Structure 1
Amino acid sequence: MNQSRYDHIGDQDLLHRYLQDRDNAWLGVLLERYTLLLFGVCMKYLKDETQAQDAVQQIFLKVIQEVHKYKIDYFKSWLYTVAKNHCLTVLRDKKRNIPVALTENDQLADQPEEAPEKEAISPELLKDALDALSEEQRQSVILFYLKKKSYQEISASEGYSLLQVKSYIQNGKRNLKLLIQKMLKKAKKENG
């Protein structure tokens, strides 16, 4: 949906339309209005552009999954609270977990906070893991992380909605992480 075509429709009306007919397009218009706000909130807490982008995707998915569970009087305030709580959870979890993330040299690497060196993933392993993803997830992950395309650019070039792009990237990244961990375990067993 073209965002400017719906500027005259208020947040509550868009939310009501979504809840009434469950058409994700209405929620997409509403979320698109606040993408920059969400990104700003996430940058404020996470202080990292890539993490903030990931957080915005995760918040979008959380909203899609949970918006119907709440009575929301002011969508913008509710969304801000969801974003803030998500970022605080990410920061809390970061202290407990060892994150896996795409590095700037286009490899997937383990990044333990205590260990200064990174365990680099071979390009062959990354390619095998990418090949194991669904076509939509693989294409979206490659375009977003490796080719640095925006959600809008991916949506336009691939014909997916913005919500689909966000979902494919989110799920693709998670699945890629799981596949690589599985492949690394298998390789360690074979070699050790």
Structure 2
Amino acid sequence: MHLSDQYQNLSDQDLLQRYKADGNTEWIGVLFDRYAILLLGLCMKYLKNEEDARDSVQQIFLKVLSEVHRHEVIYFKAWIYQVAKNHSLMQLRHKKDVELKEELVPGAAEQDDIRQTAHVQKDLMLDHMERALGELNPDQAITVRLFYLDKKSYQEISDITGFNAGQVKSYIQNGKRNLKILLEKYSKNMR
């Protein structure tokens, strides 16, 4: 009997903890089996090719094995979904980059592809921004959101949060710096 048969009733979090404790890849295998169909569907949605989607699911599994130790994963399903989405977007980006290099002078169809690539890159950047904001200290996150996204003044932020003006300024500056560091880290990890 495999672990996968014996431990189907364990929660995602229990399986993750066991994998992190003993390194037995069957724990991740049980988790991955739970979400393989979801991941295949997601990859098909983006890549529009079953063979590419199946290859991507295998690559995502390997990526999960190598990266899960580096992340504090609370909700495995949401995390692996994001990993798969980012992987698929990067596959599309890579495919578009190759096509762009093959065509020196883009025609009308290629212009559409360029716009699609720009849209995919913007989505990826927004995903990274949202993820990075989620990793900030809560005080930094709320002040950065209010200042940059909601266009609130220091005084308005102070009124909303109860922080004094010095705290607001400090949280925004530190949050902006930490956000930049996180975004650079995500950018490096995607190469």
TM-score by length of 1: 0.50
Structure number with higher helix proportion: 2
Larger Rg: 2
**TM-score computed with the length of structure 2 as normaliser:** 0.50
